[in-house]
Amino acid sequence: GAVVSQHPSWVICKSGTSVKIECRSLDFQATTMFWYRQFPKQSLMLMATSNEGSKATYEQGVEKDKFLINHASLTLSTLTVTSAHPEDSSFYICSAERGSDTQYFGPGTRLTVL
């Protein structure tokens, strides 16, 4: 149990386009989901906390207008990178919280912006 999926697993896009990443909890409901960014050989950086039915809470320094988060249901959160630029290229990982204490992570999405 506690399976989280992400789609797509990788995406290549042109600079200036928008990209949507989906995060789904497959066998449990998650009131709270989290979005992280990971740079090569580094730890995870929390970008935002996503709560079902309400606005996401962004970490300091994360542009909310650039990284749009929608948590429309208890099993789906989406991250849209708007007007992507090469510096947005990264590995994006989501997690879903089960039982109010444990986060379960998706497999990640590799974004490359040309």
Partner 1 sequence: AQSVAQPEDQVNVAEGNPLTVKCTYSVSGNPYLFWYVQYPNRGLQFLLKYITGDNLVKGSYGFEAEFNKSQTSFHLKKPSALVSDSALYFCAVRRGVTGGGNKLTFGTGTQLKVEL
How many other C-beta atoms lie within 10 A of the C-beta of residue 110? 13
Q: Are 3 and 25 in contact (CB under 8 A)?
A: yes
The reply to whether 67 sits near partner 1 by the rule CB under 8 A is: no
Q: Closest separation between CB of residue 46 and partner 1, Å?
A: 6
Among 11, 68, 80, 91, binds partner 1 (CB under 8 A): 91
Query: Is residue 106 within the footprint of partner 1 (CB under 8 A)?
Result: yes
Bridge partner list, 57: 49
46 binds partner 1 (CB under 8 A): yes
- Give the three-class secondary structure for 27: coil
Residue 35: name the closest of 1, 63, 2 by CA.
63
Q: What is the pairing mode between strands 57-58 and 44-51?
A: antiparallel
| Residue with Cβ nearer partner 1 (11 or 82) | 11
Point out which residues bind partner 1 (CB under 8 A). Answer: 2, 4, 6, 31-32, 34, 42-44, 46, 49, 51, 91, 93, 95, 97, 100-108, 110
